[in-house]
């Protein structure tokens, strides 16, 4: 399953992601991973949520292909992952949103194969998003 939370800056997308991640972690049904590029959410997450701040890595993971590889590495390291939360995917991946159809198709395959929920936040007007994004609202 892929779920996208889309909205303009300041509407509470990160808060919703954090609350959902914390709730999933409380269910004790598997591990939960929260990824962002700034570290701002680290103290809002429960200690059971594995937090990854991409700005701490020496290599920029700023393309869809490299970020997909990063996700695969996380999954291959821990087969108990139940949920992956990515705050501001378009801030992490510098590719244009219209070109991310293949990325979401591959994430959907990962989700099905490993039974993982993926949650992404995207900054922007929900009505102007491409149809492949709207399918995940």
Task: Report domain extents, the chain.
Answer: 2-134
What ranges in the chain are assigned the alpha helix state H?
13-26, 64-77, 89-92, 101-114, 131-134
Mean pLDDT over 58-84 rounds to 94
Mean pLDDT, the chain, integer: 95
Structure tokens at 134: 């709207």
Per residue in 72-116, pLDDT (tens digit) is: 999 999 999 999 999 999 999 999 999 999 999 999 999 999 999
- The pairs formed by 87-91 with CB atoms below 8 angstroms and a separation of 24 or more are 87/13, 87/14, 87/17, 87/34, 87/35, 87/36, 87/37, 87/41, 87/121, 88/13, 88/14, 88/36, 88/37, 88/121, 88/122, 88/123, 89/120, 89/121, 89/122, 90/122, 90/123, 90/124, 91/37, 91/123
pLDDT at res. 29: 80
pLDDT at res. 25: 95
Residue 36 has pLDDT above 90, yes or no: yes
pTM of the model: 0.95
Residue 26 has pLDDT above 90, yes or no: yes
Residue 60 has pLDDT above 90, yes or no: no
Mean pLDDT over 23-48 rounds to 92
Higher confidence at residue 58 or residue 116? 116
pLDDT at res. 8: 94
Q: Which strands make up the sheet holding 49-53, listed edge to edge?
A: 2-7, 117-123, 81-86, 31-36, 49-53
Residue 28 has pLDDT above 80, yes or no: no
- The domain covering 2-134 belongs, at the CATH homologous superfamily level, to P-loop containing nucleotide triphosphate hydrolases (3.40.50.300)
Using pLDDT thresholds of 50, 70 and 90, give the confidence band for residue 126: very high
DSSP bridge partners of 117: 83
């Amino acid at each position: 399953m892929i779920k996208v939370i889309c909205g303009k800056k300041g509407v509470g997308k990160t808060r919703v992601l954090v609350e959902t991640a914390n709730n999933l972690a409380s269910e004790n049904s598997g591990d939960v991973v929260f990824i962002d590029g700034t570290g701002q959410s680290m103290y809002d997450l429960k200690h059971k949520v594995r937090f990854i701040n991409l700005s701490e890595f020496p290599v920029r993971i700023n393309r869809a292909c490299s970020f997909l590889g990063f996700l695969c590495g996380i999954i291959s390291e821990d087969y108990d992952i139940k949920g992956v939360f990515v705050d501001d995917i378009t801030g992490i991946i510098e590719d244009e949103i219209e070109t991310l159809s293949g990325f979401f198709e591959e994430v959907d395959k990962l989700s099905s194969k490993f039974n993982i929920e993926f949650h992404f936040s995207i900054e922007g007007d929900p009505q102007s998003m491409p149809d492949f994004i709207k399918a995940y609202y």
